[in-house]
Amino acid sequence: MGDELKTVKIGLLGFGVVGQGVWKNIEQNRSALETRLGVELNINKIVVRNLNRERLISVPETILTTNANEVLEDDSIDIICELIGGTDEALTYTEEALKRGKIVVSANKALICDHGESLFELARQHGGHYFYEASVAGGIPIIKTMREALIANRFSLIFGILNGTSNYILTRMEREGLSFEETLGDARKLGYVEADESLDLDGIDAAHKLVILNYLAHGIWVNLKDIICEGIRSISKEDIEIARQLGYKIKLIGVIARDFSHNSVSVRLHPALIAKTETLAEVNEVYNGVSVTGDVVGTTVLIGRGAGQDATSSSVISDIADAVSLLKGEASTGRHTSVDPKACPDEITLELSPPDRLEGRYYFRFHVKDEEGVLAEISNIFAKHHISFATVNQKELSDNSALIMVTTHKSSEVSVLAACEAVKQLGSFMADPVYLRIFNPEDYSA
Amino acid sequence: MGDELKTVKIGLLGFGVVGQGVWKNIEQNRSALETRLGVELNINKIVVRNLNRERLISVPETILTTNANEVLEDDSIDIICELIGGTDEALTYTEEALKRGKIVVSANKALICDHGESLFELARQHGGHYFYEASVAGGIPIIKTMREALIANRFSLIFGILNGTSNYILTRMEREGLSFEETLGDARKLGYVEADESLDLDGIDAAHKLVILNYLAHGIWVNLKDIICEGIRSISKEDIEIARQLGYKIKLIGVIARDFSHNSVSVRLHPALIAKTETLAEVNEVYNGVSVTGDVVGTTVLIGRGAGQDATSSSVISDIADAVSLLKGEASTGRHTSVDPKACPDEITLELSPPDRLEGRYYFRFHVKDEEGVLAEISNIFAKHHISFATVNQKELSDNSALIMVTTHKSSEVSVLAACEAVKQLGSFMADPVYLRIFNPEDYSA
Q: What is the mean pLDDT of each run of 10 residues along chain A (446 residues)?
A: 75 97 96 90 96 92 96 97 96 97 95 95 90 95 94 96 97 97 94 93 98 94 96 96 97 96 95 96 96 97 95 96 81 41 75 91 94 91 96 92 95 95 89 95 82
The residues near B92 (Cβ < 8 Å, ≥ 6 apart) are none
Identify all chain B residues contacting A38, using CB atoms and an 8 Å cutoff: 332-334, 336
Nearest to B152 among A31, A33, A302 (CB): A33
By DSSP bridging, strand A351-352 and strand A264-275 are parallel
| 8 Å CB contact between B358 and B387 | no
Q: Best interface-test mutation with A: which of B300, B319, B349 has the largest number of A CBs within 10 A?
A: B300
Beta-bridged to residue B161, according to DSSP, are B289
Q: Let me know if A363 is exposed, middle or buried by CB neighbors in 10 A (0-12, 13-18, 19+).
A: buried
How far is Cα A353 from Cα A350, in angstroms, rounded to an integer?
9
Check residue B347 and give its pLDDT: 80
How far is Cα B79 from Cα B323, in angstroms, rounded to an integer?
7
| 8 Å CB contact between B407 and B363 | yes
CB proximity A331 to B under 8 Å: yes
> Which runs of E-coded beta strand occur in B264-319?
264-275, 287-294, 298-305
Inter-chain residue contact A314 with B33, CB threshold 8 Å: no
Tell me: the pLDDT tens digits for B21-44? 999 999 999 999 998 888 999 999
Cα torsion B333, B338, B340, B346 to 10°: value is 70
Q: Let me know if B223 is exposed, middle or buried by CB neighbors in 10 A (0-12, 13-18, 19+).
A: exposed
The residues near B164 (Cβ < 8 Å, ≥ 6 apart) are B138, B192, B285, B286, B287, B288, B305, B306, B307, B308
Q: How far is CA A76 from CA A9, A415, A431, B290, B403, in A?
A: 7, 61, 62, 40, 73
The residues near A193 (Cβ < 8 Å, ≥ 6 apart) are A165, A184, A187, A200, A201
The CB density around residue B69, as the number of other CB atoms within 10 Å, is: 11
Specify the DSSP class assigned to residue B240. Answer: H
pLDDT grade, residue B1 (50/70/90)?
very low
If contacts are CB pairs under 8 Å, which of residues 83-142 in chain A contact chain B?
133, 139-141
ipTM above 0.85, yes or no: yes
Residue A421: its H or E element: helix A413-424
Identify all chain A residues contacting B279, using CB atoms and an 8 Å cutoff: 279, 282-283, 303
Inter-chain residue contact A152 with B33, CB threshold 8 Å: yes
CB proximity A150 to B under 8 Å: yes
CB proximity A323 to B under 8 Å: no
* Minimal C-alpha gap between A155 and chain B (Å): 11
Check residue A345 and give its pLDDT: 75
Give the ranges where A82-141 is alpha helix by DSSP (H).
89-99, 109-126
| 8 Å CB contact between B240 and B178 | no
| 8 Å CB contact between B134 and B106 | yes
Check residue B343 and give its pLDDT: 67
Listed residue (B113, B118, B344, B123) closest to B219, CA to CA: B344
How far is Cα B297 from Cα A308, in angstroms, rounded to an integer?
9
Identify all chain A residues contacting B334, using CB atoms and an 8 Å cutoff: 35-39
Residue B182: its H or E element: helix B180-189
The residues near A205 (Cβ < 8 Å, ≥ 6 apart) are A109, A162, A163, A165, A194, A199
Identify all chain B residues contacting A144, using CB atoms and an 8 Å cutoff: 144-145, 148-149
Inter-chain residue contact B335 with A36, CB threshold 8 Å: yes
Nearest to A335 among B36, B277, B335 (CB): B36
Q: How many CA atoms lie within 13 A of B368 on its CB side?
A: 24
Inter-chain residue contact B298 with A346, CB threshold 8 Å: no
* Minimal C-alpha gap between B346 and chain A (Å): 9
Q: How many CA atoms lie within 13 A of A331 on its CB side?
A: 18
Check residue A343 and give its pLDDT: 67
**Angle between the B17-28 and B30-37 helix axes, to the nearest 10 degrees?**
80
Q: Best interface-test mutation with A: which of B8, B147, B318 has the largest number of A CBs within 10 A?
A: B318
Check residue A422 and give its pLDDT: 94
If contacts are CB pairs under 8 Å, which of residues 345-374 in chain A contact chain B?
345-346
The one catalytic residue in A9, A209, A249, A251 is A209
Is there a catalytic annotation at residue B24? no
Identify all chain A residues contacting B146, using CB atoms and an 8 Å cutoff: none
pTM, entire model:
0.94
Listed residue (A109, A126, A157, A137) closest to A339, CA to CA: A126
Inter-chain residue contact B334 with A37, CB threshold 8 Å: yes
How far is Cα B100 from Cα B40, in angstroms, rounded to an integer?
24
Check residue B340 and give its pLDDT: 53
| 8 Å CB contact between A156 and A132 | no
Please name each of the domains of chain A with its CATH number: 2-140+310-344 (3.40.50.720), 142-304+347-355 (3.30.360.10), 358-444 (3.30.70.260)
| 8 Å CB contact between B275 and B440 | yes
If contacts are CB pairs under 8 Å, which of residues 299-318 in chain A contact chain B?
299-305, 310-311, 313-315, 317-318
How far is Cα B55 from Cα B20, in angstroms, rounded to an integer?
8
Nearest to A310 among B151, B298, B334 (CB): B298
Residue B64: its H or E element: strand B64-65
| 8 Å CB contact between B159 and B439 | yes
The one catalytic residue in B45, B209, B249, B251 is B209
Could you give the strand order of the β-sheet that contains A64-65, starting from the edge strand earlier in sequence?
A64-65, A40-47, A7-13, A79-82, A103-106, A129-131
Listed residue (B123, B126, B156, B349) closest to B256, CA to CA: B156
How far is Cα B340 from Cα A379, in angstroms, rounded to an integer?
66
Tell me: the pLDDT tens digits for B303-360? 999 989 999 999 999 999 989 888 887 444 333 344 455 667 778 889 999 988 999 9
Check residue A136 and give its pLDDT: 97
| 8 Å CB contact between B78 and B103 | yes
Q: Best interface-test mutation with A: which of B132, B317, B325 has the largest number of A CBs within 10 A?
A: B325
Check residue A334 and give its pLDDT: 36
CB proximity B279 to A under 8 Å: yes
How far is Cα B227 from Cα B195, in angstroms, rounded to an integer?
24
DSSP letter string over A147-173? IIITTT--EEEEEEE--HHHHHHHHHH
Q: Is the pLDDT of residue B291 over 50?
A: yes
* Minimal C-alpha gap between B20 and chain A (Å): 13
How far is Cα B303 from Cα A303, in angstroms, rounded to an integer?
9
Check residue A22 and give its pLDDT: 98
How far is Cα A265 from Cα A159, in angstroms, rounded to an integer?
13
Identify all chain B residues contacting A40, using CB atoms and an 8 Å cutoff: none
Tell me: the pLDDT tens digits for B373-416? 899 999 999 999 999 999 999 999 999 999 999 999 999 999 99
Cα torsion A343, A349, A352, A357 to 10°: value is -140
Q: Best interface-test mutation with B: which of A43, A151, A310 has the largest number of B CBs within 10 A?
A: A151
Chain pair A-B, CB pairs under 8 angstroms: 248
Listed residue (A131, A112, A64) closest to A324, CA to CA: A131
CB proximity A296 to B under 8 Å: yes
If contacts are CB pairs under 8 Å, which of residues 219-258 in chain B contact chain A?
none
How far is Cα A278 from Cα A443, in angstroms, rounded to an integer?
14
DSSP three-state, residue A194: coil
Q: Is the pLDDT of residue B299 over 80?
A: yes
DSSP three-state, residue B32: helix
Helix, strand, coil percentages in chain A from 3-state DSSP, rounded to 5 = 40, 25, 35
Inter-chain residue contact A318 with B149, CB threshold 8 Å: yes
How far is Cα A195 from Cα A182, in angstroms, rounded to an integer?
18
> Which runs of E-coded beta strand occur in B132-230?
155-161, 228-229
How far is Cα A127 from Cα B224, in angstroms, rounded to an integer?
48
Q: Is the pLDDT of residue B427 over 90?
A: no
By DSSP bridging, strand B351-352 and strand B287-294 are unpaired
Identify all chain B residues contacting A441, using CB atoms and an 8 Å cutoff: none
How far is Cα B347 from Cα A146, in angstroms, rounded to an integer?
31
Beta-bridged to residue A338, according to DSSP, are none
Identify all chain B residues contacting A315, using CB atoms and an 8 Å cutoff: 149, 297
Exposed e or buried b per residue across A105-127, where buried means at least 16 C-beta atoms within 10 angstroms of its C-beta: bbbbbbbbbbbbeebbebbbeee
Determine the length of chain B. 446
